[in-house]
Amino acid sequence: MKRSKKERQSLLTEQIADNPFVTDEQLAAEFNVSVQTIRLDRMELAIPELRERIKDVAAKKYDEVKSLPLDEVIGEIIDIELDNRAISIFDVGEEHVFQRNGIARGHHLFAQANSLAVAVIDDELALTVKSNVAFVKPVRAGNRVVTKAVVKGKNPDKNRTFIEVTSSVDNEVVFKGEFEMYRMKGEETT
């Protein structure tokens, strides 16, 4: 269905407000217009491109993180509730994949998951004690990896927090991990 420019721009504004991580390509398909039309609409409406929207959301959320500096997080944190859950995104570039087959190197996926497990801890110090991970499907250049960390339990006597991490590309799981984290202080700090 063809919409007027005014109606399309109104709906575009709503869609981006509801989901700041929607891509221009997804919006173009939704509104049945070209990607260039979406970009022009965004420029007219002074809506920044996706990367800038992500950085804006990440900057607001990152202020809550205590356990590591921003430059040590792999990916960008887009949502976090300390000692409960966190979400980050990581855009896989050519520099992250093997040249011969275009598949992402596993250490990048692990680093995103591990740094998110550290970031979700509400403490000044959080270290990985051990992890159990599985690489479920290959990830390729151009994929956006959405990683979710959920705190599953705590053992304050041993200063441990247990975190389940799942990474997905287009809602398909590509990586799973269970992390046992050491935190400097026990339950009394939260």
Report the relative pairing of strands 126-135 and 76-81 from DSSP bridges.
unpaired
**Angstrom distance (rounded) from CA 13 to CA 7:** 10
**Mean pLDDT along residues 13-30:** 84
* Nearest to 122, CA basis, from 80, 78, 75, 79: 80
pLDDT per position as a tens digit, 110-149: 999 999 999 999 888 889 999 999 999 999 999 999 999 9
Whole-number pLDDT of residue 188: 46
Strand order in the sheet with 126-135: 76-81, 85-91, 144-155, 160-169, 172-183, 126-135
Per cent of the chain over pLDDT 70 is: 87
Domains and CATH numbers, the chain: 5-47 (1.10.10.10), 66-189 (3.10.129.10)
- pLDDT over 50 at 169, yes or no: yes
* pLDDT for the residue 190: 41
What's the whole-number mean pLDDT along residues 146-167? Answer: 94
State the average pLDDT over residues 19-38: 87
Closest CA to 171 of 135, 190, 188, 147: 147
User: Measured between alpha carbons, how far is 65 from 110 in angstroms, rounded to an integer?
Assistant: 19
pLDDT grade, residue 177 (50/70/90)?
A: very high
Other C-beta atoms lying within 10 Å of the C-beta of residue 179: 24
Model confidence at 101: pLDDT above 90 = yes
Residue 148 contacts residue 85 (beta carbons within 8 Å): yes
pLDDT per residue as tens digits for the range 38-97: 999 998 888 888 777 766 666 665 556 666 666 677 888 888 888 999 999 999 999 999
| Distance, CA of 124 to CA of 114 (rounded, Å) | 16
SS3 77: strand
pLDDT at res. 176: 98
Say if CB 161 and CB 181 are below 8 A apart: yes
Q: Please state the rounded mean pLDDT for residues 159-188.
A: 89
Local structure of 43: helix, strand or coil? helix
Tell me whether strands 85-91 and 160-169 are parallel, antiparallel or unpaired: unpaired
Q: What is the pLDDT of residue 187?
A: 44
Buried b (16+ CB within 10 A) or exposed e, 124-147: eebeeeebebebeeebeeebbbbb
Kindly indicate the confidence band of residue 23, based on its pLDDT and cuts at 50, 70 and 90: confident
